[in-house]
């Protein structure tokens, strides 16, 4: 089974520790504000050992960002099977929980703050996270159009609209005010309103779907609203 020697396992585990430490420190202090000593201490290794794993600060920064790509989860992959409105409602909350997670917000701030000095990281992040997510939304919406439940010309625009309606406001707030993130109640306000507007503009049966949505909203106020962010 384990074709890896103890030495190789150690190496892999320590590299993981270094990357985790790097994410934490870089996200807190930015690129220029981060010291390699701080990364070494955070990872529990010594500085010379750190340099055996990554040959420079820039190499570590780049490796850390590339490692983070894979962490972006696959949303919009598991429709609930309880109908389009329930699917959209579930997706909206899954997405909100992810996109407003403090660690992912810190990563986003880091990337935005450094993108002018490292232009490739912005493109890489966009392609690995938001773009993949957007195409997941597009696929789902196209399926609902084929089933006659939605009506639109351009799936990409429809997907962008859904995202913008539901999460642009709370995410902007969270990005600019890390010490006053939107409460669950505020998020619910944006999410529910966003879904209403989306259905009103895109549903082929807006009246029915809006009624379904209102039923869903009043049925689940506690299950979602009291759920904490930390799993």
Partner DNA sequence: CAATTTCTTAACTGATGAGTTAAGGTTTGC
Partner DNA sequence: GCAAACCTTAACTCATCAGTTAAGAAATTG
Binding site for DNA (CB under 7 A): 5-7, 10-11, 14, 34-37, 44-49, 51-52, 55-58
Binding status of residue 157 toward its own copies by CB under 8 A: yes
Q: By rule CB under 8 A, what string of x and - marks binding of each residue 33-62 to its own copies? A: x-----------------------------
Residue with tokens 């429809």: 158
Interface segment toward its own copies; rule CB under 8 A; list 5-13, 77-85, 174-182, 215-223: 174-182
Site for its own copies in 87-116 (CB under 8 A): 106, 109-116
The length of the chain in residues reads 231
User: 102 contacts which partner out of its own copies, DNA, none, CB within 5 to 8 A by kind?
Assistant: none
User: 10 contacts which partner out of its own copies, DNA, none, CB within 5 to 8 A by kind?
Assistant: DNA
Residue 107 CB, shortest distance to DNA, in Å, is 19
Report the residue from 13, 28, 186, 208 that binds its own copies according to the rule CB under 8 A. 28
Between helices 155-176 and 130-146, what is the axis angle to 10°? 140
Q: Which is nearer to DNA, 49 or 127 (CB)?
A: 49
3-state secondary structure 126-163: HHHCHHHHHHHHHHHHHHHHHCCCECCCCHHHHHHHHH
Q: How many residues bind its own copies (CB under 8 A)?
A: 48
Helix (H) or strand (E) holding 177: none
User: 177 contacts which partner out of its own copies, DNA, none, CB within 5 to 8 A by kind?
Assistant: its own copies
3-state secondary structure 39-77: HHHHHCCCHHHHHHHCCCHHHHHHHHHHHHHCCCCCCCC
User: 142 contacts which partner out of its own copies, DNA, none, CB within 5 to 8 A by kind?
Assistant: none
Q: C-alpha angle with apex 166: 161 to 168, nearest 5 degrees?
A: 80
Three-class SS state of 93: helix
What distance in Å separates the CA atoms of residue 179 and residue 199, rounded to the nearest whole number? Answer: 33
User: 193 contacts which partner out of its own copies, DNA, none, CB within 5 to 8 A by kind?
Assistant: its own copies
Site for its own copies in 176-195 (CB under 8 A): 176-180, 189-190, 193-194
User: 172 contacts which partner out of its own copies, DNA, none, CB within 5 to 8 A by kind?
Assistant: its own copies
What distance in Å separates the CA atoms of residue 111 and residue 116, rounded to the nearest whole number? Answer: 9
DSSP character at residue 44: T
Binding status of residue 128 toward its own copies by CB under 8 A: no
């Amino acid at each position: 089974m384990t074709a890896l020697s103890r030495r190789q396992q150690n190496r892999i585990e320590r590299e993981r520790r270094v990357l985790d430490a790097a994410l934490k420190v870089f996200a807190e202090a930015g690129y220029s504000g981060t010291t390699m000593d701080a990364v070494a201490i955070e990872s529990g290794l010594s500085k010379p050992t750190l340099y055996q794993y990554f040959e420079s600060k820039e190499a570590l920064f780049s490796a850390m960002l590339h490692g983070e790509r894979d962490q972006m989860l696959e949303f919009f992959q598991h429709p609930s099977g309880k109908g389009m409105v329930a699917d959209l409602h579930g997706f909206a909350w899954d997405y909100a929980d992810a996109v407003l997670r403090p660690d992912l917000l810190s990563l986003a701030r880091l990337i935005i703050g450094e993108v002018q000095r490292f232009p490739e990281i912005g493109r890489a992040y966009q392609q690995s996270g938001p773009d993949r997510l957007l195409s997941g939304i597009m696929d789902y919406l196209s399926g609902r159009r084929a089933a006659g439940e939605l009506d639109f010309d351009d799936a990409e625009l429809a997907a962008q609209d859904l995202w913008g309606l539901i999460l642009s406001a709370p995410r902007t707030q969270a990005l600019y005010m890390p010490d006053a993130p939107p409460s669950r109640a505020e998020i619910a306000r944006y999410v529910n309103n966003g879904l209403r507007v989306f259905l009103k503009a895109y549903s082929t049966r807006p009246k029915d779907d809006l009624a379904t949505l209102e039923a869903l909203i009043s049925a689940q106020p506690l299950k979602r609203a009291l759920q904490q962010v930390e799993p």
